[in-house]
Chain A
Amino acid sequence: MTSLDTATTTTRERAGYFETFMSRRASLLPTLAAVVILILLFIGAEIFVRGDFITPRNISALLLDNAYLLILAVGMTFVIVTGGIDLSVGSVMAFTGIWLAQLLEAGTPLAIAIPAILLAGALVGLLIGTLVQFFDVQPFIASLAGLFLARGLAFVVSLSSIKVEATEVLWLQSTRIRIGDWYITPTGILALLVVFVGAWVMQFTRFGRTTYAIGGNQQAALMGLKVARTTVAVYVISGVCGGLAGLVLTAYSGAGYPRNGVGTELDAIAAVVIGGTVLAGGRGYVLGSMVGVFVYGTIKTIISFMGAEQSWTQIIIGALLLVFIVVQRAIVARSDRRSRS
């Protein structure tokens, strides 16, 4: 009799822990779901598509192939957490990438070329941030101007692709640091570094907390937070990430091309949302966005393994995006009710 009682209390307590965890950390739920999906994708591909999917080589390639998207997604996470959106990242990546290729072709030293393209990315971000913060322009429209500007500038730099000969840039991509069958390239290390710095800034600094506060409540200025500065800064961060992605993509493809990254901003947004960041702002994690990028990359790999049309990637990502949005909507609605009652 007594033992039975204890048993029921323990289960009840355990359920209680779970409930408390879930109600306190409801915003973690979508990110956890993304992790589960990623694991299921891997297992599914291993079982149904081909037996050698989960190999060190394959997983290493996942990071290598998606390094540029990972960097863009980190910047995008900052913007979306403030409740904004940045449509310019794909074009900024194309512009900075081709400009880098042109600078190097003209014989500019790398030590000047790389800071120059990062600065260019930052300036596009600054333009967007200024329009959003000081002229009350909707982020969508302001970053649309950034998209047009950067895409046009990419074509002003060159109408056709420029090959990169600089060994230092190609080194970023060709060097493989091997541990057994695993390998990582300098571009992969750069991408992971951006992720970890981004996650650290987001979680452990005053700036990160201000970012969350702005997304949670537009009136955060009332609490003495530096809203204006932070809002502009998130777009600058996203712009710099666009510049870094331009560097990585140029190293990856060995050339700059003005048509690169058309629609990449949508891939970045999709990855961020799948990774559990709520588009309304205020909730989300940089590490979640990394998971989102890996989900995106894995789907792409599986589809090319199956030999199916790559257009299925777009369709599946669209469908996945839809599922996540509906789930997010339910979670936000629930926590709103909870906080109201």
Chain B
Amino acid sequence: MKHRLFWPVATLVALILINTIARSQFASITVRDGRLYGALIDILRQSAPLMLVSLGMTIVIATRGIDLSVGAVMAVSGAVGLTIIDGSADPGDPGVVMLAVVVALLVSLLLGAWNGFLVSLLGIQPIIATLVLMLAGRGVALLITEGFITTVNSTPFEFISTGYLLLPFAFFIWVAAVAVVAWMERRTALGVLTEAVGINPEASRLAGVRSRGIIWSAYAASGVLAGIAGIIYASNIKAADANAAGQFIELYAILAVVLGGTSLMGGKFSLAGTVVGVLIIQTLESTILFLGVPSAESPVFFAVVVVVVVVIQSPRLHRFARAVAHSARSRVTAKSTSDAEAAG
């Protein structure tokens, strides 16, 4: 009960159990042509874009910030990547795909650095600073694709999201990203410094933490991760759709971070919690689809989840629950004493 990952993990396990009871094939995994298939494997594959975005969001939120521009960065990254592949002589050439991905990620890094510049150097509120790019970014993506949905036919590019190496390739991408971020945050002092900046920016600055650089790099990292997510998304639909790419993903990412137990007030953060949070969202999405609810209606379920989660986390409810528990306990003690007296 005390561990902060208890509730997220319990929710995920409960969701998986409910699904397994409701449909027996949910938990079953079949092997075909040296590849694993199944609903659970699908969840692992489909969670890649949200996982990458949520990882970046976790670090940004830990610095007491927020990054609303991730969806727009995804759109730009996909647009840049596909425009390069589309414009090349041989779209199937792995070299071209590699170049496209690298350029797309550099552009994403630049966009992330721009957010970091606004927040750390100009001192603009993160919600607003990233709102600028959230508004303008999609416009830029539309300009890059010239208002059309650029489609490509490129086997190496499609491999990124639909490829398999026993398990889906996209799964390996997010596992690698989680491993790299976790190593940087937890095996070096960076994580502690990030938390220090999030808990008290002024105090950590006085203590000699270079808070500006840390905040800046958090937004840059979020940009790159969103860029990778944009590539995976574009690879999955084989197209760059500047309007639909990453729509609402900032909201789901924030939800995943909060579900994972990281406070929006900054400071202590949990990467494992975020991973669990994303898996909860993805499993819930799969459940909603299974129930036959049109996916367009799924936001109602997420609204209920958000309300329940924030109310459970609310300090006021905790105080209330404690007060109730306390009065109940004292009533029981009072009763047992009076019983003892009556017996004696």
Contacts and interface: CB of A to CB of B under 8 A. Distances in A.
A314 B131 CA distance: 11
Interface stretch (B137-145, B197-205, B219-227, B232-240): B137-145
A258 B294 CA distance: 13
Contacts of B143: 309, 311-312, 315
Given A318-B135, A325-B128, A311 B142 contact: yes
Contact of B299 (A152, A270, A321, A329): A152
Contacts of A311: 138-140, 142-143, 147, 242
A59 to B, nearest CB: 25
Contacts of A321: 128, 131-132, 135
Contacts of A85: 127
B5 to A, nearest CB: 21
B135 A144 contact: no
A144 B314 contact: no
Interface residues on B, range: 35 or more
A207 interface: no
Interface in B45-59: none
Contacts of A317: 135-136
B128 A273 contact: yes
A279 B139 contact: no
Nearest to A266: B135
A146 B303 contact: yes
Given A141-B264, A147-B251, A315 B139 contact: yes
B306 A152 contact: no
Contacts of A266: 131, 134-135
B122 A262 contact: no
Contact of B136 (A145, A153, A156, A318): A318
A317 B136 CA distance: 7
Given A137-B314, A146-B303, A269 B142 contact: no
A144 B253 CA distance: 12
Interface in A266-309: 266, 269-270, 273, 279-280, 309
Interface string B96-122: 000000000000000000000010001
Given A146-B303, A155-B296, A315 B134 contact: no
The winner among B122, B297, B315 for most chain A CB atoms within 10 A is B297
B306 A141 contact: yes
Contacts of B258: 141
B43 interface: no
A283 to B, nearest CB: 14
A155 B147 contact: no
A123 B34 CA distance: 53
Nearest to B258: A141
A204 interface: no
A279 B147 CA distance: 32
A136 B310 CA distance: 9
Contacts of B128: 273, 279, 321, 325
A322 interface: yes
Nearest to A140: B127
B303 A314 contact: no
B303 A152 contact: yes
A232 to B, nearest CB: 15
Nearest to B142: A311
Contacts of A325: 124, 128-129, 132
B123 interface: yes
* Dominant SS among interface residues on chain A: helix
B17 to A, nearest CB: 25
A159 interface: yes
B333 interface: no
B122 A329 contact: yes
B13 interface: no
Contact of B122 (A151, A313, A326): A326
The winner among A279, A280, A309, A315 for most chain B CB atoms within 10 A is A315
A48 interface: no
B307 A145 contact: yes
A326 B128 CA distance: 10
B135 A314 contact: yes
A149 interface: yes
Contacts of B315: 136
A266 B69 CA distance: 12
The winner among A147, A279, A311, A329 for most chain B CB atoms within 10 A is A311
Given A311-B147, A318-B136, 20 more contacts: A131-B311, A135-B314, A135-B317, A136-B315, A137-B314, A140-B66, A140-B127, A147-B299, A149-B304, A152-B299, A159-B294, A270-B135, A317-B136, A321-B128, A321-B131, A321-B132, A322-B132, A325-B124, A326-B124, A329-B122
18 contacts: A135-B310, A136-B316, A141-B254, A147-B303, A148-B306, A152-B301, A152-B303, A155-B297, A156-B297, A270-B131, A309-B142, A311-B143, A318-B137, A321-B135, A322-B118, A325-B124, A329-B122, A329-B123
Q: Which 6 A-B pairs have the closest CB atoms?
A: A318-B136, A152-B300, A314-B139, A152-B299, A149-B303, A311-B142
Interface of A: 85, 127, 131, 134-138, 140-142, 144-149, 151-153, 155-156, 159, 258, 262, 266, 269-270, 273, 279-280, 309, 311-315, 317-319, 321-322, 325-326, 329
Interface of B: 66, 118, 122-125, 127-129, 131-140, 142-143, 146-147, 242, 247, 251, 254-255, 258, 264, 294, 296-304, 306-307, 310-311, 314-317
